[in-house]
């Protein structure tokens, strides 16, 4: 499609012509999918992003008609959406790394269902059921980031006792999460700081 044809297509779309929007969709869909896929590495996400791009195209159709390079704008929107997705994914991964050392593969859709907030609530419920001294050790370790040595000194305990109590606490928390999620998640994990 020539630049002249594209500009005409954008002008027709700006005037609310549905056929022009469909034509634009078919023209750009084939170009945007591989572009977004290269960034996100997921066909499903790429398809969702393409839908979001075209939603933004429709919303901004009147301005696109007056842009010098509307095609560049479309690809910039696609790129920005993809990068934003990756950033949000990195944030979620950091939060989900509060569950470390997964020893069995976990289905992606199950992980998506387990939001960080839900995980925090489950962990806090499990911790609240620990004996008071274990709760204290766990919180000093996970919430305040103290080392085993620092906890031992603060509570007048041996480092081995602190380590043993944390191992018992983490085991209990893993079992609690596993039980609460009905076995959907193989929670053979170490709970890190949340």
Two tokens, residue 36? 């977004």
Q: Would you say the pTM of this structure is higher than 0.75? A: no
Residue written as token pair 């791009």 = 53
The CATH fold assigned to 97-191 is Arc Repressor Mutant, subunit A (1.10.10)
Classify 188 as helix, strand or coil: coil
- Which positions ≥6 away from 78 have C-beta within 8 Å? 32, 35, 36, 49, 50, 53
- Give me the pLDDT at residue 137, please: 92
Least Cα distance to 166 among 185, 143, 182, 186 occurs for 143
Summarised one tens digit per residue, pLDDT across range 17-39 is 888 888 888 888 888 988 888 88
Asked if residue 5 has pLDDT above 90, the reply is no
Q: Note the pLDDT tens digit of each residue in 167-180.
A: 898 888 878 877 77
List every span in the chain annotated with CATH 1.10.1740.10.
Answer: 3-94
Q: For the chain, give the percent of residues with pLDDT over 90.
A: 13
- Rounded Cα distance between 98 and 63, Å, is 44
Fold classification of 3-94 (topology level): Rna Polymerase Sigma Factor; Chain: A (1.10.1740)
Instruction: Compute how many other C-beta atoms are within 10 angstroms of the C-beta atom of residue 36.
Output: 26
With 0-12 CB in 10 A as exposed, 13-18 as middle and 19+ as buried, what is 162?
A: buried
Whole-number Å distance between alpha carbons of 36 and 28: 12
Q: Where in the chain is the domain with CATH 1.10.10.10?
A: 97-191
Q: What is the pLDDT of residues 104-132, one digit of tens each?
A: 444 444 444 445 566 677 788 889 999 99
pLDDT at residue 130, rounded to an integer: 93
Distances (CA, A) of 66 to 7, 16, 82: 9, 15, 25
| pLDDT at res. 181 | 63
- Kindly provide the residue ranges of all beta strands, DSSP E only, lying in 46-135, ordered along the sequence: 99-100
Res. 194 pLDDT band, cuts 50 70 90: very low
């Amino acid at each position: 499609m020539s630049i002249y044809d594209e500009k005409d297509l954008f002008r027709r779309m700006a005037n609310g012509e549905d056929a022009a929007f469909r034509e634009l969709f078919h023209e750009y869909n084939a170009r945007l999918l591989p572009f977004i896929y290269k960034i996100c590495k997921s066909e499903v996400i790429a398809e969702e992003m393409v839908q979001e791009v075209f939603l933004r195209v429709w919303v901004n159709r009147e301005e696109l008609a007056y842009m010098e390079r509307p095609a560049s704008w479309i690809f910039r929107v696609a790129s920005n959406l993809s990068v934003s997705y990756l950033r949000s994914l990195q944030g979620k991964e950091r939060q989900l790394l509060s569950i470390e050392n997964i020893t069995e593969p976990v289905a992606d859709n199950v992980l998506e269902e387990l939001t960080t907030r839900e995980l925090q609530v489950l962990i806090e419920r499990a911790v609240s059921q620990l004996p008071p001294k274990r709760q204290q050790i766990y919180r000093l370790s996970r919430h305040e980031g103290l080392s085993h040595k620092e906890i031992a000194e603060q509570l007048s305990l041996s480092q081995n006792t602190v380590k043993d109590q944390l191992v018992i606490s983490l085991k209990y928390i893993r079992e609690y999460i596993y039980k609460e999620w009905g076995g959907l998640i193989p929670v053979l994990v170490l709970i890190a700081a949340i």
